[in-house]
Structure 1
Amino acid sequence: MIIMQELPLSFVDYDGFRDVLDFLAPEFNDMRRNTLKSEVMKLYEVEKSRTMMMLDENTSRVALAVDMWTSNQKKGYMVITAHFIDNTWKLRSRI
């Protein structure tokens, strides 16, 4: 949710979010900014490895698209998206 909605990591410190989290998943009651950052970086590494394996197994060509934008925090971002057709003829896109 935090990644998809581009929320700040401090979102986990908000009282309302902590109340909802405690109600839905009490086992995550100790979630803090640094814990969240660590989990996000682990997820990044897993997805990076999956993407690299997909590209290594790919026998077709890859089209790259580049996009740039500015966040609400006035920070500039660039994203590179790889589009390709996998070996089962399914169109794939990986950031």
Structure 2
Amino acid sequence: RIVELATTTELFTTPKHPYTAALLSAAPEPDPRIRSRRIVLEGEVANPAAPPSGCYFHPRCAYAIDRCRTEAPAWREVSPAHFVACHRAQELQLAGVD
């Protein structure tokens, strides 16, 4: 599933979906003196044959609320040409990469 779509610069600097932020945190840092904080996702990957109700990512999301468990998020534009499927995209301040 695609959870976020944006320009490269915007996606890398201001991710709006927790899964995007986790993926970015897994990228290796070329300078070994710089330590970055890796986001470790807990839980099991959803079974595509029996997906969870609501947001597909909610079982592994540290920011999930009740709405995430019952209602799948619709795509919405959070800034020009930046689209995300997350109920909490506007309120979360997620770390990107430089």
Compute the TM-score of the two structures, normalised by the length of structure 1: 0.24
Compute the TM-score of the two structures, normalised by the length of structure 2: 0.24
- When you count helix as a share of all residues, which structure comes out higher? 1
Relative contact order (alpha carbons < 8 A, sep ≥ 6): 1 or 2 greater? 2
